Amino acid sequence: MATSTLLLYLRDFISALFLFLGLPDFLEPHIPPTHTADTGVPAARHRDTSITALLLRELLPIVKFSHLVDPPDSCAVCFYDFEREDEIRRLMNCRHVFHRICLDRWMGYDRKTCPLCRMSFVPDDMEETFNERLWAAASIPESFDDY
């Protein structure tokens, strides 16, 4: 009992330290800190996911690495080798491949281009539809003529 309590406090201390240092993305996403070390108040998520990132995640499918033909050896974001069962995202324009979590974090910073070549995530033929969905999701009228 005492060991598990000590481990919980240690985990919370490390989580608070990472948050204090501005490094919250190094925390495991499935193990959120339960409270901050100094106040005991539940810790808030460090950032809200943008509407653009949510729509991009819908647009870019998730596939198993084992389903790819002629895949690269490693992810260019984290530099870890791909494993057979890894969830990956392959970009439509440039065909670069990344771990799902790596690309999702990249998009979470409101990035809309490939981390390697800076080509847009959204293909030209889908740009208009994507922008319409973005405007609709943001509840912004397409035209200001009515005002």
Q: Which two tokens stand for residue 51?
A: 């509407």
Residue 43 pLDDT > 50: no
Q: Is the dihedral of CA 118, 124, 88, 110 positive or negative?
A: positive
The arithmetic mean of pLDDT across residues 37-54, rounded, is: 55
Model pTM?
0.59
The span from the first CA to the last CA of the chain, in angstroms, equals: 64
Residue 115 pLDDT > 90: yes
* pLDDT reported for residue 59: 87
The arithmetic mean of pLDDT across residues 118-126, rounded, is: 91
Residue 65 pLDDT > 90: yes
Residue 108 pLDDT > 50: yes
Residues 133, 110: Cα–Cα separation, whole Å: 16
Q: At what angle do helices 127-137 and 51-59 cross, to 10 degrees?
A: 140
pLDDT band at 135 (very low <50, low <70, confident <90, very high): confident
3-state secondary structure at position 2: helix
Residue type (1 letter), 84: R
